[in-house]
Structure 1
Amino acid sequence: MASHNFSLRPLVSGTRILFGLLPGLGSILMLRMVIHLYRPDIEDAEHRVKDVPVDELYNCYDFIIIGGGSAGSVIASRLSENPDWNILLLEAGPDENVLSEVPVLFPALQTSSLDWQFVTEPSSDYCLSMVGNRCKWPRGKVLGGSSTLNAMLYIRGNRKDYDNWAMLGNEGWAYNDVLKYFLKAEDMRIPEYQNDPYHSTGGPISIENFRYEQPITKKILEAGEQFGYRIVDVNGEFQTGFTKSHATLRDGLRCSTAKGYLRPAAKRGNLHISLHSLVEKILIDDHKNTYGVKFTKNGISNVIKVNKEVILSAGTIQSPQILMLSGIGDSAELKSLGIDPIAHLPGVGKNLQDHIAMGGHSFLFDNPYTNGSDYCFNYHTVSSIGSLIDFAINRNGPLYSMMEAEAMAFVNTKYQNPVEDYPDIQLFIAPSADNMDGGLFGKRANGLTDATYADLYEDILYKSSFSIVPLLLRPKSRGYIKLSNSDPNTAPLIYPNYYSDQEDMARLIEGARIAQMLVEQPALKEVNARPNPNRNPGCKKHSLMSDEHLECQARHHSLTIYHPVGTCAMGPAKNTEAVVDTKLKVHGITNLRVIDGSVMPTIVSGNTNAPIIMIAEKASDIIKKDWSDSRIVRFKYDTVPNLKYQDKNNIVKIEPRHVENSKSTPNIFNEISSLFPYLSQDILKQYEKSITNQSGKQNVTDISIKSTKASRGGFEKNNISNFLPNSYYSKEIKENKQAKGDRPRFTSNAVNNKVSPKLLRPYPYNGDEYCKTMTESILSTNSRNIDYFKGYSPILSDQSKNYKQNIMYYNNINDNFDTRKDNKFISNTESISNEPKKSNIWLYYNGLKYEIQL
C-alpha cells in the first residue's frame, strides 16, 4: 500500500505569513506618512517628472524613445541637451514612488505594481522549489525601470568582458573605449575613491556605500581576508577580491536613472514624457524605413511620427517582443502568429543570458551582543518606531540598510586561472537570510513554495543568520524569448535554459563550496557560524555538500539575479544571430536603434545596471555625432508638427512648458493599495474573513473606521483597520470631527499623570495638509525613547546624547513660539523598563483625525 506523507507545516507557515503581511503593510503605510511629513527631500515635489497628457502630445518628434528605464532615461536626458531636437519618451509605467528610494524596501517593490511580474516557463531542470516550477523575473514598470526597484549594486564588470566584445567584431566597445562613459555617468562619493583614475565625480549617478551596516558584515569581510583575498576596489584596476558594496545611492537613498537623469531634464521645453503609455508596435514602411510608433494610453490607441529615429529601450524582455510585434525577427515564427515579416533577423529574442545563483546558503551564528542589540538584519527592528524616528529625524538607521548584499566578493573556482584576474563566481554577502523577515518579502519575491519555506526556515525564524549566495558570472547556457501571440498586452514566453551547459553547473557547485570554506574561517568561527541545519525537501536523500546535493539544491533553489541580457545582440552583419551593429542600429532597418541590456553580445562579469547606463551614454554620443554629420539628410517623413510656434529661423521647437509644482497632499491610502495590490485586495479579504467570528461580527480586536472619506482611495469601509499592525501602531482608530474652520488638535490618552504635558512647535495648517505631530509625539516621550535607543544598537549607542538633545529641543520650545490652543500637542507617557510601552497619539489625515495607539 502506497504511503503518503502529509504535513500541516506548509499550511501553518503560509497562514502565519499571510497574517504577518498585514502588519508589514501597516509599517509601510506609516513610513509613507513619515516621508510626507518629515522628508520633503524624498518627496522632491519640485523636480518630479510630470506626465504629458495625450492631447498635449504632438504628431511628430525628432526622436521617440520607447522605455524610460535604465537606458531610456539616460538617452532622453542626453538628447534633450540639444535644444533644437524635440524628444518624446514613452514609458508604460508611472513615475517613481517615493518608497522606492528607501533602500531596505527594495524586496517589497518586486511583485508590486512597479514590477512587470514576469515569470519563466515551467521547467523540470531548474526552479523546482518555486511555485509552478517557474522563476520570478522582476522588471521595472516605472520611470527608471529596474534601476528603480533593483538592489542598487554598482558593478562595472571585468575589462576582459568588453575586450571580448571588440574581439567579436564590435569595434569601439573595448574596455579602453567604454571606460570614459562609466566615468561620465559617475559621481563617486566614497572618499577613498574620489581621486582615483578609475573614478570620477560630478556625473548624474552618485555612488556610495550603504549608510547603515550590520556588524556581521565586517566579520565576513575579515573572514575573506583570512581566506586569502584582499579588500579591493572591484570597479578599479583589479576585480578579484572582497569589498563593501558600491551602490547607486545619493545621501543614502536610491539614485535611479530617473532621479539622476530625468528629473534635472524634466522641465526642458523640448522633452515630453508620456507615462502609462504601452507601445504596441514600431511603424515601418515597405522600404524598411521607420516612421513612427503606435501606443496605447488611457485605453486609446495613438500614432506619433518621427523625424529622425525611434530608439527602442524597453529592456531584454520587451525590446525583442516589440521588434517581433513590428515584423522584425524570425520570419517563420512571425508568420505562424499572423504577423507580416518586414525583416528576417532570427537572432531577435535569442542569445538570452542571465546570472543564475544557488539559493538556500543560510548560516546561523551566535549574537555576541548581550544587551539585545542586533548583529544582523532583523525585520522587527527595521519596522519599529525607533527605526522610523532614526530615519525621519537623524537620517540614519536600518531603513538605510540593504539586506541582500552589504558586501560582495569575486572569487575563482578551480576551473579559473587566478592569475588572469577574471573571476568566475560572485558572492553576495547578506547580513540576513530568508528566516529574518518571516517570509514576508523574500519568499514572495523569489516565489518559494510554502512547503520549501516551511522546511527550511520555519523552526529558525528570526534567529541570527546571514547568507552567502554564489552566482555564475559567465554562463555558457543560452535561452530565448518568444511571442505567445500577437497581442502586445500578453507577456512573452521566457525560456532561460539554466544549466543546459553542464559546465555552468560544475562551476556553480564549486562556488557553493567556496562559500562554505569562507564560513569556516576563524573570524566566523568566533561567532559559531554554522549551516542552517534544515535541508531543501527535494534534496534530503543526498549527502550534505556532495556534488549530488549541491546540484539538487541549484536546480531547486534557482535564483535569478535580475540580469537578463543579449536578446538583441550587437554584432557585424555577417553574424546571422546579430540584431544591431556597433552603432546599435537594427540591421536592415533605417532609423531604428536598440539601446539597452539586450544588445550585449555576452553578459558582463557583474551586476548589469552600470554597464547598461554606460551603453546608453556611449550611444547618446554616437547619435549626436551621426546627426551632426551634414551628409545625413532628415528623414523623408519630416513634417512640421502642430507646435505652438517657430523661431525666427523657422526651426521647429516645442514651446517651453510651465510645469507646476505639485504640493497637494497625496492620497496615501490609495497610493499604498495601488502599489501593493496583492496585499490590499486578496489578502485583506482573506484576513477579514478569518477574523469574523461565528456570529458574523468582527473580532473586537479589529480596528474600525467610520469615515467614508478615507475609503475613497480603493479601500472598502473598515479596510483601513487592517493596514495598521497591532504590534506597532493601533488597535483602534476613531473619527473625531471638528468644528468647521477649526485647526486640528492632537492629544493622547494619558497612561498616567506622572509626566507633565509638553508643548511642541506649532506647525502651520493649510487645507488638507498634515499637522506635524507623529514623530514629535514619539520624541516627547523622553524616557521611553532614550531607553529604547540606549539598547538599540552598539553602533548607535554613542548617539544617545543626540537623541536626548533632539527630545529636549522639542520639549522646551514653548518659550519661542505661539502657544495658541489650536496648535497644542499634549503627550503623557509611562515608561516601564523591559516591558511593552503604550501611548496614544492623534494623526490628522485628509481632513480627519485618527487616534493611533502605540
Structure 2
Amino acid sequence: MSTHTQYSIKTAVSSTRILFGLLPGLGALILLRMAIHLYRPDIEDAEHRVRDYPFENLYDCYDFIIVGAGSAGAVLANRLSENPNWNILLLEAGQDENVLADIPVLFPALQTSAIDWQFVTEPSDEYCLSMVDTRCKWPRGRVLGGSSTLNAMLYIRGNKRDYDNWANMGNIGWSYDEIIKYFVKSEDMRIPEYQNNPYHGVGGPISIEHFAYEQPITGKILEASQQLGYKIIDANGPSQTGFTRSHATLRDGLRCSTAKGYLRPVSKRRNLHISVHSLVEKILIDENRRAYGVKFVKREQTKIIKASREVILSAGSIQSPQLLMLSGIGDSEHLKEVGIYPIVNLPGVGKNLQDHVAMGGHSFLFDNPYNNGTDYCFNLNSVWSLGNLIDFAINKKGSLYSMMEAEAMAFVNTKYQDPVEDYPDIQLFIAPTSDNMDGGLFGKRANGLTDETYAELYEDILFEPSFSIVPLLLRPKSRGYIKLKDGNPFSPPRIYANYFEDPQDLKILIEGARIVQALVQQPALQALNARPNPHRNPGCTQHELMSDEHLECQARHHSLTIYHPVGTCAMGSIDNHNAVVDPRLRVYGVKGLRVVDGSIMPTIVSGNTNAPIIMIGEKAADMIKEDWMQGGIDIIQCDRKYKQNEEAIEADSPNRIRLSQLGAPDILNETASLFPELSKGFLPTTNKRRSNTTLLTSLDNNRKKTSLPNSYNPIDHYHSSDVLNTYDEDRKNPKILQSYSNKIPQYSFKSNPFGNTNIMKNSMPVYSSINPFTELTERDKVRPFYARKPYYKHKHQSNNHKSFSNIRKPQNVQNRPNESKKKIYFKTEEVISPKGRKECKIWLYYDGMKYKVTI
C-alpha cells in the first residue's frame, strides 16, 4: 500500500510539473516564430511557398488526380507536371508546412500537433503496455510533404538485398541495380566526402547533409564503436554494416521535406493545381471497374472531380488501404461487415502491415566531463535560451540545428545473422539525450507514455546528463493489419500492429540490446562513468536489471514505432493471392488506379523508409510516363467546357493569391493552432474578467480595423516581399538585436523564458494582450498594421500606455536612424504577487502589439 501511495504522489508531482511547463513551452515557440519572421526570411521563403488553388476554380476534370502530397505524392506532382500537355490535381488533406517544421530540434513537438493525423493502434496486452490505454502512437503527416515534414529527417536507403528480394518475388524492375538510379536522381548530396561518388548524386530536389550541430557525447559513442571493432561507414554506400553519422534530408541545416524539394520549385506551373484542406472521401469507380474520379470535401464543401487518365493514391500505408476499402476495394467479407458494397474482392488490402519496432527506455547516465556548466549532451533547459535564439536567428548556427534523437546510427548483426552477408538485422539509433532531458514536454507526449511510467523512470534523474541507444528490429517476421472502423471516411481506421506476434522478433531485439550493453562498456564511455538508468519500468520491477526477462518486459512495455508502417497494399505478381498492385503499381481488378507510396512494399526495407518512398515516387513517375507514351490505354472523355480556351487559362493567374495581398503572419494564433495541446487554456473563448478576452479576439479585431485583404487567411500565413522590406535595414545590421539582448539580462536572470520546467513548479504563466492602437495618424489609417511604426512612435497615446515610452533602450543605438523601424522590444520587472511570491514579468512589444508574460 505504501509503495502504491509513493507511486501516486510521484506521478502527481511529475504530471503537474509537466503541465505547468506547457504554456512556457508554447511561449518559447511563439518567440521563436517571431524571430524567424523578423530575421529569417530564408525560412519563411515567402516567394516560393505553395499557394492553395481556389476551390471554385478547380477544373471539372484533370488528366491525373494525385491523392496525398506526402513523400511520394509530391514527387509525382513534380514529375508528371513536367509534361505541359497533362493537367495535374494534387489533393492534400492537411495544410502547408509551418515554418517551425524547418527547425530540426522541434521535430518531436510536431508529433501530436495539428499537422499530425494522430493515429493510435488498437489496445494490446502484448506490446505498448506502458502507453496510455496500451495504445501505440503512430504519427503520420497531415501536411504538404506528409511525414517528410514531421519525421526525424533521417536518410537511409536500406540494404541492397531488400530490393533484390522484391525482384525475386516476381516484381520485375525492382532489383537494386534497377532502382539505384532513382535514389541518385532524387539526391543533392552536400556531404563533401560523398559528392564525387557513384552511389550519390548532386543537384537533385532533396538535399542531404549531416546535422549542423552535434553534441559532444555523440563523438564519444562513435569512438566507443571503433573500440568495439566497428568501422565508420557510409550507410548509403557499398556496404551497410557499421556506424555512421546520420545522413539527413537537410538544406543549410534546415529540414528539406518533399514539399520544399519537389513542390515549391514547380507550384506555379499552370498545369499543376494544388488543393490543401481537401479530404478525399472515396474513389469513384464505374460499371466497367474503371476509376474515373474522386469525391472530396474542402472546408465543408463537397466536390466530384474526374480523371481522364488515372487516379493515383499516395495517401500512405494507413490511408491508402482505408480509401481503397471505402471505395469498395478490399476483402469483400470485411466490406460487407461495415456496410460497403464490394466492387473488387482484394483480400490483401490492409493486410501485410509491417513496422520497425524498437525497444524504448534504453537510456544511460554519465558524468559530464565539463566543469564550467557547459552541457555534454542535449538539455532542453540550455537549448531554450536567449543566446541560442540569437545564434539561430542572427548567426544561423547553434543547438536549434541539432536533432537529438539520432545524431548517429549503426547497423549491426546479432548472433542470428551471418555477418559475412552484410545484411544487418538490428539498427541502433544513437541519441545524445534521453527522455529525462526534456522534462517530459516532448518525448513523453510523442510516445504516449503514461504519467506513472515517466515518473518512475525519469523524475528522480531529471536533467542529469544522459544518452540513449535505441535498438530497432530491421526485418520483423510479425505482420499486422488495418481494418475499417465503419463506412465513415472521417473515422480513423483500426490499426493492429501485432508486434512480437512471432517470438523470433523479441529474441533478435534482446540481442540488439546486448550489443548496446557491450558498446557502453567500452573505455571511451566508461571514462565518463556511463551506466544504465537504475530505475526500471514499473511493470518490470520483478526482473533483474538488464536480464533477458527484464529486456523482454521492457520491449513489451516501452514499445516504440520508428514511424515506418508499410506493406498494406503490397506489390506482387498476379499469382500472389495477397498482392494488391502489380509491379507497375496498378491496382488489380481496377483500371486507371495506382497506389504509389510505402504501402506497396512487399517486405519492409532495412532502414528508414522516407528515402525509399521518394525512390518509389520517382520510379512510378517514369513508369506512368512510359505506359502513356506507349498508347493503347483508353482515355475517359471529360466534358471540356471548363477553362478549355486560352482566355480562361490565362484567367487562372489572378485567382491564385498574390504575395502582395498577404499580410504579416498571425504569429500567436498560427503557433497556438499548430500546437493545440500546448495551448489549452491559452486562448479561451470567453472570459468576462478580462477586458480583452483572448489573443485571438484581439488580433482578429485589429485585422478588421485595418486594411488586410478579404482573401487573407491565418492558415495561409506568408507575407509578401514588400512586408519583408519593412525589416530590411535591421537585417543588414543584426547587431542591433544583439545589443538589445545584451542590455536586458533580467530576461533570463531568474527564469528561462523558453520553459525551464524547474521554475514552473510554483507559478502558472499568464499570457494576455492589449490593443495598443487608440488614435492613429491620418497616414496610419491607410496603412496595414504590420507596416506601421511601433506603437511608442505614435503622437497620440492613451494614458494607459505611457509606460511603453519608458522602455530602456541601449544608449549606443538610441540615435540610430533605423531605430523607428524596430519591431521587437522587451521589458522585464520583478514584482511581488498578491500572495507574496516574487514574479518575473516580461513585456514583449511586437508589431505594435503588447504581450505580457508572468513567470
Using structure 1 for the length normalisation, give the TM-score: 0.85
Matched residue, 1:673: 672
Matched residue, 1:844: 846
CA distance in 1, matches of 2:227, 2:574: 50
Q: Partner amino acid for 1:62? A: D
Aligned-pair CA distance for 1:332: 1.1
Aligned-pair CA distance for 1:740: 3.5
CA distance in 2, matches of 1:483, 1:185: 35
Aligned-pair CA distance for 1:653: 9.7
**Residue among 704, 711, 714 paired with 2:697:** 711
Matched, 1:768 2:769: no
CA distance in 1, matches of 2:56, 2:553: 56
Contact 1:430 1:467 in 2 (8 A): yes
CA distance in 2, matches of 1:53, 1:583: 33
Matched residue, 2:132: 131
Q: Partner amino acid for 1:737? A: P
Contact 1:270 1:654 in 2 (8 A): no
CA displacement, residues 668-692 of structure 1 (integer Å, 9 cap, x when unaligned):
1211221111222268879x99xxx
Q: Partner amino acid for 1:613? A: I
Matched, 1:243 2:216: no
CA distance in 2, matches of 1:666, 1:537: 46
Question: Unaligned stretches of 5+ in structure 1?
Answer: 690-696, 699-703, 716-721, 746-764, 775-809, 831-835
Matched residue, 2:62: 61
Aligned-pair CA distance for 1:639: 3.4
CA distance in 2, matches of 1:250, 1:744: 42
Aligned-pair CA distance for 1:723: 10
Could you say if the C-alpha distance between residues 705 and 37 of structure 1 is closer, same or farther in structure 2, counting changes exceeding 3 Å?
A: farther
Matched, 1:547 2:548: yes
Matched residue, 1:75: 76
Matched, 1:394 2:399: no
Matched residue, 2:716: none
CA distance in 2, matches of 1:712, 1:683: 13
Matched residue, 1:645: 645
Aligned-pair CA distance for 1:531: 0.4
CA distance in 2, matches of 1:19, 1:125: 33
CA distance in 2, matches of 1:823, 1:134: 49
Matched residue, 1:213: 214
1:745-756 to 2 correspondence within 5 Å?
none
Aligned-pair CA distance for 1:849: 3.2
Q: Partner amino acid for 2:582? A: D
Aligned-pair CA distance for 1:160: 0.5
Matched residue, 1:635: 635
Matched residue, 1:755: none
Matched residue, 1:337: 338
Aligned-pair CA distance for 1:539: 0.7
Matched, 1:737 2:772: yes
Could you say if the C-alpha distance between residues 320 and 714 of structure 1 is closer, same or farther in structure 2, counting changes exceeding 3 Å?
A: farther
CA distance in 2, matches of 1:284, 1:825: 56
Contact 2:322 2:350 in 1 (8 A): yes
Q: Partner amino acid for 2:677? A: Y
CA distance in 2, matches of 1:744, 1:232: 63
Matched, 1:565 2:600: no
Contact 1:194 1:201 in 2 (8 A): yes
Could you say if the C-alpha distance between residues 290 and 653 of structure 1 is closer, same or farther in structure 2, counting changes exceeding 3 Å?
A: farther
Contact 1:484 1:491 in 2 (8 A): yes
Matched, 1:356 2:357: yes
Matched residue, 1:441: 442
CA distance in 2, matches of 1:664, 1:380: 34
CA distance in 2, matches of 1:156, 1:627: 29
**Larger CA deviation: 672-681 vs 209-218:** 672-681
Could you say if the C-alpha distance between residues 742 and 525 of structure 1 is closer, same or farther in structure 2, counting changes exceeding 3 Å?
A: farther
Contact 2:104 2:400 in 1 (8 A): yes
Matched residue, 2:658: 660
Aligned-pair CA distance for 1:664: 1.3
Aligned-pair CA distance for 1:848: 2.5
CA distance in 2, matches of 1:125, 1:395: 46
Could you say if the C-alpha distance between residues 639 and 741 of structure 1 is closer, same or farther in structure 2, counting changes exceeding 3 Å?
A: same
Could you say if the C-alpha distance between residues 675 and 828 of structure 1 is closer, same or farther in structure 2, counting changes exceeding 3 Å?
A: closer
Contact 2:823 2:846 in 1 (8 A): no
Secondary structure, in 3 states, of the residue corresponding to 2:420?
A: helix
Matched residue, 1:93: 94
Q: Partner amino acid for 2:372? A: N
CA distance in 2, matches of 1:768, 1:238: 54
Aligned-pair CA distance for 1:543: 1.7
Aligned-pair CA distance for 1:431: 0.4
Aligned-pair CA distance for 1:632: 2.4
CA distance in 2, matches of 1:3, 1:368: 36
Matched residue, 2:202: 201
Secondary structure, in 3 states, of the residue corresponding to 1:681?
A: coil
Could you say if the C-alpha distance between residues 732 and 119 of structure 1 is closer, same or farther in structure 2, counting changes exceeding 3 Å?
A: closer
Could you say if the C-alpha distance between residues 654 and 335 of structure 1 is closer, same or farther in structure 2, counting changes exceeding 3 Å?
A: farther
CA distance in 2, matches of 1:826, 1:118: 41
Contact 2:22 2:755 in 1 (8 A): no
Aligned-pair CA distance for 1:437: 0.4
Matched residue, 1:597: 598
Question: Unaligned stretches of 5+ in structure 2?
Answer: 702-751, 793-809, 830-837
**Larger CA deviation: 706-715 vs 406-415:** 706-715
Could you say if the C-alpha distance between residues 134 and 683 of structure 1 is closer, same or farther in structure 2, counting changes exceeding 3 Å?
A: farther
Q: CA RMSD in A?
A: 3.3
Contact 2:682 2:767 in 1 (8 A): no
Could you say if the C-alpha distance between residues 829 and 304 of structure 1 is closer, same or farther in structure 2, counting changes exceeding 3 Å?
A: closer
Aligned-pair CA distance for 1:850: 3.9
CA distance in 2, matches of 1:823, 1:656: 35
Contact 2:352 2:480 in 1 (8 A): yes
CA distance in 1, matches of 2:44, 2:170: 46
Q: Partner amino acid for 1:675? A: L
CA displacement, residues 509-533 of structure 1 (integer Å, 9 cap, x when unaligned):
0001111111000000111110001
CA distance in 1, matches of 2:10, 2:684: 23
CA distance in 2, matches of 1:772, 1:515: 56
Aligned-pair CA distance for 1:542: 1.1
Aligned-pair CA distance for 1:732: 8.0
Aligned-pair CA distance for 1:828: 9.7
Matched residue, 2:379: 378
CA distance in 2, matches of 1:371, 1:837: 28
CA distance in 2, matches of 1:683, 1:839: 17
CA distance in 1, matches of 2:338, 2:852: 58
Aligned-pair CA distance for 1:739: 6.0
Secondary structure, in 3 states, of the residue corresponding to 1:304?
A: strand
Matched residue, 2:404: 403
Q: Partner amino acid for 2:772? A: K
Contact 1:188 1:207 in 2 (8 A): yes
Q: Partner amino acid for 2:557? A: H
Q: Partner amino acid for 1:639? A: D
CA displacement, residues 258-298 of structure 1 (integer Å, 9 cap, x when unaligned):
01001111111001111111111100111111110011111
Matched residue, 2:149: 148
Aligned-pair CA distance for 1:255: 0.4
Secondary structure, in 3 states, of the residue corresponding to 2:614?
A: helix
Matched residue, 2:737: none
Tell me the number of residue pairs that the alignment of Structure 1 and Structure 2 aligns.
772
Could you say if the C-alpha distance between residues 594 and 823 of structure 1 is closer, same or farther in structure 2, counting changes exceeding 3 Å?
A: closer
How many percent of aligned residue pairs carry the same amino acid? 64
Contact 1:738 1:744 in 2 (8 A): no
Matched residue, 2:505: 504
CA distance in 2, matches of 1:474, 1:581: 23
CA displacement, residues 528-576 of structure 1 (integer Å, 9 cap, x when unaligned):
1100010011111112222211111100000000000000000011000
CA distance in 1, matches of 2:534, 2:520: 14
Secondary structure, in 3 states, of the residue corresponding to 1:262?
A: helix
Aligned-pair CA distance for 1:737: 3.3
CA distance in 1, matches of 2:601, 2:299: 34
Matched residue, 1:178: 179
CA displacement, residues 225-265 of structure 1 (integer Å, 9 cap, x when unaligned):
11110000000001111011000000111000001001111
Matched residue, 1:18: 19
Could you say if the C-alpha distance between residues 730 and 556 of structure 1 is closer, same or farther in structure 2, counting changes exceeding 3 Å?
A: closer
Matched residue, 1:228: 229
Secondary structure, in 3 states, of the residue corresponding to 1:680?
A: coil
CA displacement, residues 393-417 of structure 1 (integer Å, 9 cap, x when unaligned):
0111111111100000000101111
